[in-house]
Amino acid sequence: MASQEITSKNLFSVSAAPVWHCGRTVRSTMLHSLLALLPAAIMAVYRYGYDAIAVIAWAGLAAVVTEFLMEKWMERESTADDFTALFDGVVFAFLLPSTAPIWLVVIGSSLTIVLGRMVFGGFGGSPICAPAVGWAIMTVSWPEFMDLNAMLLNWDLVEPLSDLKYFGVEAITDISYTSLLFGQNLGALGASQVLLIAVGGIYLLATRQLRWFIPISFLAGVYLTGLIYNIIDPTLYASPLFHLLSGGTMLAAFFLMPYPSSSPTWKLPMLLFGFLGGALLIIIRTYGIYPDGTCFAVLLINLCTPLIDLIQPKPFGGR
Amino acid sequence: MMKIRLNTSTVLQGSLQDIPVPTRVRIPLQEKHKSVVKKKQIVGCGQVIAEISSKSAYNLGFVHSSINGMVEDILPDAIIVGPIPAPKEGEEAPVPARTEPCAELDTLAGEELCRKLLELGVTTSGMHATRTVIVNGLNPEPGMIASEHLLESASETLKAGIQLLERALKPGSIKLVIANGRQFTVHGCTTITASDVYPATIDPLVIYAATGAERPDNVDILSVVDLYHIGRVAETKLPFTQSVVSVKDKVFCVPVGTAVEDLLTAAAVSIGPDKIVTLGGPMRGASIFDMAIGIDKSCSAITMVDVGQFPPVQPNPCINCGECVLACPARIHPGMLSRYAEFEMFDEARSHHVEACLECGMCTFVCPANRPVLQYLLLAKAALIAQDEEVAACRLQDL
């Protein structure tokens, strides 16, 4: 019969519904994110020279190689081609002082992957933001090598948050907001390029790779909490704008807080998560022993994610 | 890659086109249908070939032959009607029976009319007397254009369909939902406008747009294509044995059971194994591997997609990004539910409201990990139904 002949001749491929897809993949998202980090990386190289290139490159390399080895050991297919490991490594590098020794960069970047991701089953499984984990381990283990002021003695500049911590509000009165915006003070390699990090973040928002809920509510949380302290006593607590533009606030808002697996998924929880994270950042900076508490704030609020994510709407037609 | 738009409303071109009557049709059957013809039997266009044994007025419609021909084969899911063989020497050519118009259609009303409609091939299983009836006048999915085409070109038939429905169901009111900014009316319907962006065009969300209630239990919904079927039955008093199917930007009226390849040939669309072809739209349509499959009465579009145009769906791990949650119109967590289904934790899936899923496919559409999220959800739903049936069977044994 004619129909049977045709059947044996060409069978068509089938696919489960829907046959359309928005075209976004983990790989494309990560490529966009890396592109968003690029301007800040270039600025870091311009400011800190070859050291910055070395730190970023070693961090990226160590992350990708560690992930590859771990996946080999776990007998899994390598996922190096989706660039998630590279992204984590680069973000981790952005949190380091540019003169960090290579052994520190390699160990930190490997631990970012191992303890931040692979122990939880790989990208997407970790309940905490991987680069923040790497930074926290390094800061606790080798505080002298992570101290931005001590590591960057070659430069005749100051680290605004350390100044605020150890010398009070008067010490930072002559630091202008524009200099903070353009990263003209000492700071972590990439995180201090505040304007360019924000540009990258806005690029991600504009291309809809990133939703606005967490970044905006995080910045609002930082600003409002900072404002409250500032109103209580302006001579003791820095202005909220200073907090927004210093340390790792911007990097946290656009890259650490919205880390996919460690942030909530519903709308209201995302807003709450961002806002509480921002508030926590100011609280840690005010009362903590470290000058910049960004990553600690991110890690702590990550731990609250499952709790916050319990706030769910009723399903459609639910009574 | 081109940007995908999920708007479904389109500006219409051309008119309803017929195709050359195919020599062989493969008329799909549902599980409940019972064949009433024998192999080699000569059947006429409009003759009943499969019926429903239940006497209820609200059930699946009977199946009629859509061409004059001879029954070639009876399969569990289809009846194949082929050409009448040439008569032998000295014999008279067999004449297929002519179906007479059903004269009493004008006089019947209420449940009797529903029963008659069912015998004329109209599926009445979703209808109930005295409820609000909503006609979904939105194109259901992007690329499916039959609904708005019929609203524009066949308003007289639709009016006849509405009048028949009024007699059969005595509905409280009939509402027509159309896309924002469009100007369609059908005599006897209150017109309501709603968003035309998928998934707002699927039935439960159209009901919500029309009534403001989620899953109300006093509303029936039917599509414009369904209404057109009823309208054609009302006009001709004969069973309507054709499907209205859109292919790309044209709309065709084809005999039920026409092979997909016959329609595509008539539409001058070339296909090969480098295409994925689905019956239905791009979001909910079922893809087919064999182009000889017959077009069902309820199928209103054929969609083609190039292999490799979209990233392939694979059982990748969920990355917890939450895109599916933001896209889901049912306000459930498809990502989490898909993982429950993946690891066969069906009771967990139930406690997280998997049954609220509207099966729109947006979760799979947006998933950056390319997981088959909807399939996992469907798996969980099917497994839960099977589980419930098993429990019910056990209870019956205990009694």
The DSSP annotation for A220-273 comes to HHHHHHHHHHHHH-TTTS--HHHHHHSTTHHHIIIIITT-GGGS--SHHHHHHH
CB pair distance less than 8 Å for B259 and A3: yes
Exposure on the CB side of residue A13, measured as CA atoms within 13 A: 14
H-helix or E-strand spanning residue A41: helix A26-48
Spatial distance between the Cα atoms of B187 and B190, rounded to a whole number of angstroms: 9
What is the sign of the dihedral through the CA atoms of B318, A119, A26 and A255?
A: positive
Least confident of B51-60, B191-200, B254-263: B51-60
Report pLDDT for B225. 92
Cα-only R_g, chain B: 22
The two beta strands, B63-64 and B48-51, are: antiparallel
* Residue A1 banded pLDDT, cuts 50, 70, 90: very low
Asked if residue A81 lies in contact with residue A27, where contact means CB atoms within 8 angstroms, the answer is yes
Q: How confident is the model over A295-300, as a mean pLDDT? A: 94
Mean pLDDT within B302-318: 88
Element (H, E) at B175: strand B174-179
For residue B7, the cross-strand partners are B197
Q: Per-residue pLDDT averaged across B239-267, rounded? A: 91
Confidence of residue A36 (pLDDT cuts 50, 70, 90): very high
Instruction: State residue B124's pLDDT score.
Output: 87
Q: Work out the average pLDDT over A47-67.
A: 94
* H or E element in which residue B209 lies: helix B203-211
Q: What confidence tens digit (pLDDT) does each residue in B159-185 have? A: 999 999 998 888 888 999 999 988 888
Confidence of residue A9 (pLDDT cuts 50, 70, 90): low
The stretch A165-171 carries a mean pLDDT of: 83
Kindly list the residues from chain B whose CB atom is less than 8 angstroms away from the CB atom of residue A314.
Answer: 331
Q: Say yes or no: domain B123-236 is CATH 3.40.50.11540.
A: yes
Cβ within 8 Å, pair A261-B321: yes
- Select from B215, B314, B325 the residue whose CB has the most chain A CBs within 10 Å, as the one to mutate to test that interface: B325
Please give the pLDDT value at position A6: 47
Q: What is the per-residue burial (b if ≥16 Cβ within 10 Å, else e) of B55-81?
A: eebbbbbbbbbbbbbbbbebeeebbbb
> What are the chain A neighbours of B275 within 8 Å (beta carbons)?
12
Topology of the domain comprising A26-308: Ammonium transporter fold (1.10.3430)
How does residue A26 score in pLDDT terms, banded at 50, 70 and 90? Answer: very high
Closest in B280, B303, B317 to A122, CB measured: B317
* The predicted structure's pLDDT at residue A2: 45
CA distances from A229 to A238, A240, B76 (A): 8, 8, 75
Rg (CA), chain A: 22
pLDDT at site B365: 93
DSSP-based three-state secondary structure for A310 = coil
Pairing of strands B174-179, B190-194: parallel
CB B278 within 8 A of CB B292: no
Q: How confident is the model over B41-99, as pLDDT tens digits? A: 889 888 999 988 888 888 888 999 999 999 999 998 899 999 988 888 777 777 888 88
Instruction: For residue A103, count CB atoms less than 10 angstroms from its CB and return exposed for 0-12, middle for 13-18, buried for 19 or more.
Output: exposed
AA letter at A249: T
Distance in Å, alpha carbon of B371 to nearest chain A alpha carbon: 10
Neighbours of B179 (CB within 10 A): 23
> Do residues B333 and B177 make contact, with C-beta atoms less than 8 angstroms apart?
no
pLDDT value for B88: 80
Give B23-85's CATH code, choosing from 2.60.420, 2.60.40, 2.40.50, 3.30.70: 2.40.50
Instruction: Give chain A's length.
Output: 319
Compute the nearest-CA separation of A180 from chain B (Å). 32
A18 cis-preceded (ω within 30 degrees of 0): yes
Question: For residues B102 and B118, is the Cβ–Cβ distance under 8 A?
Answer: no
**What are the domain boundaries of chain A?**
26-308
State yes or no: pLDDT of A95 exceeds 60: yes
| Adjacent-strand bridge partners of B64 | B48
pLDDT higher than 90, residue A72: yes
First CA to last CA across chain B, in angstroms? 62
Closest partner residue to A20 (CB to CB) among B259, B288, B310 is B310
